[in-house]
Structure 1
Amino acid sequence: MLKQQLQFKLSQKLSPQQIQLMKLIQLPTQAFEQRIKQELEENPALEGGKEETENDYDSDLDNTTDDFNEQDSINTDDINVDEYLSDDEIPDYRTQANNYSADDEEKNVPYAAGTSFTQYLIDQLNTYRLSDEERDIAEFLVGSVDDSGYIRRSLSDIMDDLAFTQNIYTSEEKIEYVLKLVHQLDPAGVGARNLQECLSIQLHRKEKTLDAELAINIIDNAFEQFTKKHYDKLIQKFDVSEIQLKDAISEIEHLNPKPGGSYSGNNRIVEHIVPDFAIKIIDGELELTLNGRNAPELHVSREYHNMLKTYKDTNDKSGSQKDAVIFIKQKLDAAKWFIEAIKQRQQTLFITMSAIMHYQKDYFLSGDERNLRPMILKDIADEIHMDVSTVSRVANSKYVDTPYGTKLIKEFFSESMKNDQGEDVSTREIKKILETVIEEEDKRKPLTDETLAAILKDKGYPIARRTVAKYREQLDVPVARLRKKM
């Protein structure tokens, strides 16, 4: 049975310009600079730098463009726009070549090129005398090494892949033999299939001292007891003193659990953080500044404005000139909107960060994280009368330079809970106290979560053991058993 129903629905839709503005607000300083560069390249009616003359140009532009709001009002007569284009002022974008020739200005910081980790390993293979089959297997194994230096696949999977993708039919025994050769490559431990094998490879390469021999024995024959830090069982198993065990463990702690990380990390481009704001303490008061790179000098092209005005004043107009003037008007409108959007972005960023700074005034004056007030996105949104999503865009991607280091703004936000006196305190404050208690504990007898909960309760923060466990995990602190040291 079919039914017809009339339903009224009120919904809010963002215009394309509003969406673009939200995207601009979300961009951090470096990405924002790239966005401006892109807009300057795409819109010839937008120019960077300061204008040489300041007069009633902007108001003239508004009046001129308003006359062209209705495209149908433009008459089409025979006239050539080229008559009022300046031949001696060809825009830069018209003379730039789309290649890497000498007329391109390189503004990016050059990075030194380096050999990839895989190629570094293959270069070492070239020093070994291998059969064709062994070399093919070795290169396949090297290609399977991840950024940490491990081959995290079983020999059977590798054997199947060799058959299906390389047309190499071999046995697991042959692959195991070639893998032993890969284990001889540098850095030591590369090609290991798990942490135990990685540490064992490194230890077997070290000078055979008593400490190293005991360390090898521990890793090869008692790895589970070692990872669980059952030191008493290790002392009993190997019949050694506590000092001897401590020295052997020291040998193990100096090994590299990720042999590939040190090499591959050297070839990655380092991302430098550019603070979007700066907070300084001057005469006991906080002063907020917005990074000047967020306030570029942009203006609408006078040449494009003159084109439009000249067309308006011309009696003879053609159809082709109508299309040209519509194009000019669209570029001028886009340029004006982009300049206005940047101003809105600056204002939004400054207002939002100013509200955060004053909300967390005690922290910014002292640098003590225990002075951070509970603060959620809605607190700031209500204060500046903006949407929560706008505050989120500012907080999630922006950094502020403070007297205590460069901080990600979202780090100042935290939930609240009540202490034993009924006051709202920040969970960041509790985490900081928890972190301090763990740092000061006796590592021979680390504190359990229950004990930590009791200590926090004595300090005025009555929280459950499971909450302590959650905060400890968020701080990336292992359980008590794994914090144990000799």
Structure 2
Amino acid sequence: MLKQTLSQKQQQGFTAMQIQQIKLLELPALELEERIQKELEVNPALEEGLPDDEGRDDSERLDDETMPDGDADILLGDYRNEDDIPDYKLREWQDRNSRREEIPFSAGAPSINDRLVEQLKYLPLTERQQQLAPYIIGNIDEDGYLHRGTEELLDDLAFRAGIDADAAEVEEVIGLVQSLDPPGICARDLRECLMLQLQRLPDTSARTTAMYILSRQYDDFLNKRFDRIREEAALSDAEMKEVFDLIMQLNPKPANGWGDDAEAAMIRVHPDFIVERLGEDLLVSLTAGGDVQPLRVNPAYREMLEDYRSSAKNRSRERRETLLFVRQKVEQARWFIDGIRQRREAMQRTMEAIVRMQEDYFRSGELSDLRPMGMKDVADMTGYDVSTISRVSSSKYVQTDFGVFPLKYFFSDATTNDQGEEVSTRMVKQLLAEIIETEDKAAPLTDTDLTEALAEKGYQLARRTVAKYREQLGYPVARMRREVV
């Protein structure tokens, strides 16, 4: 029975270690640095430094056999009631239950909502409006729109904020918020967003016509029925072009661009790998963030465990609790060190395999040299599971002589040209994008036309495949790509 219990507990520990290794593997360089610093702060048995005793910290495990007879089963969850649980364990459980994982934000970078609230102090608001305005602003989405209806806002104000307001009050405050910067903010839909921006522009004939088209011919505008718009608004070709050029200058997502500094701080890319040419060789290395500082178990904590083994007869309750705490912290430290080591090995082997498979590309930087490659191909070369390759590739970047790329950039499916050669679908997509960018904007190519254009260049694809690639590239259908020229 005891052996079965120990086996179950060892399996639980192994599973916990595996989970930790998986989480470490998923972290990009900067987040890994933060994770290591956090672990150093919470675990006194872990410290920076080269392992001593010929690498003992990396290889020695704390199996239950290191505990004296009679103490092997004194592990977590073995206390009969809360009074028997050591104080340190109660505190650890309380910390764990109260811990919340927060999304990291760039410190000191105000959001669009913060900036709108800051502008409220420049408006002559009544006390009542000062209560309602922040709530309206709080419902604006990341693009700058207010998609909640007046009745929904009234219900939320009543039930969540305890404010009994009427529709007229809410509409008035929405109008006040719409007067803030950036223009178009707090619009309920695209038409209102564009109209709000036009209202702030100088009074010209083009602006007047644009407002007429948006208010009276909005459906024709959305569907680019230029002939109907030209006929109803009685516009010449030159006037038509002037009006649409004006509308195209407006921002359909008014909140975009108002957090550039904050967004840049949030999404700044820090490469995890560097691939560089040294003569005829390609050298793969982890960056400073990926190749972390050496870690080891604090020698003082290891000595305490050795002292435990040498003084098995002196086992008071207090001493047993203290040494159980030490044992747990040392084991956690060794798990963490082993997880970091395995992460480094998996990262290096995976990147080296990618470079071997994409060697031509890393030498030339030409997209035509990017060969089809799937995660299974890399998994077969490294001996890892596909899920491991996926975790290594997620949110990781590599610095090359041709720029910084996400690892997933190098993975793509294969298609065959008319010569029977397999080429990367990324190459086909680039060619498709070039065709669309150079098409006649007054008569854009349909998906059938695009399919024929690709066939002329040696790529026989089904029309639905071309349509899928077009959508993945972010291009709308031909009718919606039409422009006034």
| TM-score, length of structure 1 as denominator length | 0.80
Report if aligned partners of 2:57, 2:297 keep a CA contact under 8 Å in 1: no
Q: Write the letter of the residue equivalent to 2:288.
A: G
Work out whether 1:282 is the aligned partner of 2:281. no
Report if aligned partners of 1:152, 1:194 keep a CA contact under 8 Å in 2: yes
Give the counterpart of 1:241 among 236, 245, 249. 236
Q: Write the letter of the residue equivalent to 1:216.
A: M
CA displacement, residues 372-409 of structure 1 (integer Å, 9 cap, x when unaligned): 21111111111112211111111123111112221111
* d(CA) in 1 for partners of 2:234, 2:294: 75
Structure 1 residue 139: deviation in Å? 5.0
Report if aligned partners of 2:29, 2:270 keep a CA contact under 8 Å in 1: yes
- 1:346 alignment partner in structure 2: 344
Q: Write the letter of the residue equivalent to 1:261.
A: N
Inter-CA distance 137–371: structure 2 relative to 1 (3 Å threshold): same
Inter-CA distance 120–28: structure 2 relative to 1 (3 Å threshold): closer
Structure 2 SS opposite 1:345: helix
Listed as ranges, the matches of 1:28-427 within 5 Å are: 28-50=28-50, 56=53, 58=55, 69-72=66-69, 111-112=107-108, 114=110, 117-118=112-113, 120-122=115-117, 124-129=119-124, 136-165=131-160, 166-170=162-166, 172-173=167-168, 175-264=170-259, 266=261, 270-293=266-289, 294-312=291-309, 317-319=314-316, 320-427=318-425
Structure 1 residue 213: deviation in Å? 1.8
Inter-CA distance 296–451: structure 2 relative to 1 (3 Å threshold): same
Inter-CA distance 60–274: structure 2 relative to 1 (3 Å threshold): closer
CA displacement, residues 406-451 of structure 1 (integer Å, 9 cap, x when unaligned): 1111221112222223322221121111111112222222111101
Larger radius of gyration: 1
- 2:459 alignment partner in structure 1: 461
Structure 1 residue 136: deviation in Å? 4.8
CA displacement, residues 153-203 of structure 1 (integer Å, 9 cap, x when unaligned): 333433444555544253x45544554344333322222211111111211
Inter-CA distance 242–22: structure 2 relative to 1 (3 Å threshold): same
* d(CA) in 1 for partners of 2:247, 2:64: 79
* d(CA) in 2 for partners of 1:64, 1:111: 40
Structure 1 SS opposite 2:108: coil
Q: Write the letter of the residue equivalent to 1:48.
A: E
* d(CA) in 1 for partners of 2:132, 2:105: 39
CA displacement, residues 442-463 of structure 1 (integer Å, 9 cap, x when unaligned): 2222111101101111211111
Inter-CA distance 345–18: structure 2 relative to 1 (3 Å threshold): same
* d(CA) in 1 for partners of 2:380, 2:430: 28
CA displacement, residues 308-362 of structure 1 (integer Å, 9 cap, x when unaligned): 4455556973434455444434433433343233222211111111011110111
- 2:16 alignment partner in structure 1: 16
- 1:94 alignment partner in structure 2: none
Inter-CA distance 476–366: structure 2 relative to 1 (3 Å threshold): same
Identity of aligned residues (%): 39
Report if aligned partners of 2:271, 2:287 keep a CA contact under 8 Å in 1: yes
- 1:89 alignment partner in structure 2: none
* d(CA) in 1 for partners of 2:293, 2:388: 22
* d(CA) in 2 for partners of 1:314, 1:160: 69
Structure 2 spans left out of the alignment, 5+ residues: 1-10, 73-94, 96-103
Q: Write the letter of the residue equivalent to 2:192.
A: E
Q: Write the letter of the residue equivalent to 1:280.
A: E
Structure 1 residue 130: deviation in Å? 5.3
Alignment coverage as a number of residue pairs: 439
Inter-CA distance 451–61: structure 2 relative to 1 (3 Å threshold): closer
- 1:105 alignment partner in structure 2: none
Structure 2 SS opposite 1:364: helix
- 1:92 alignment partner in structure 2: none
Structure 2 SS opposite 1:292: coil
- 1:450 alignment partner in structure 2: 448
CA RMSD of aligned residues (A): 3.3
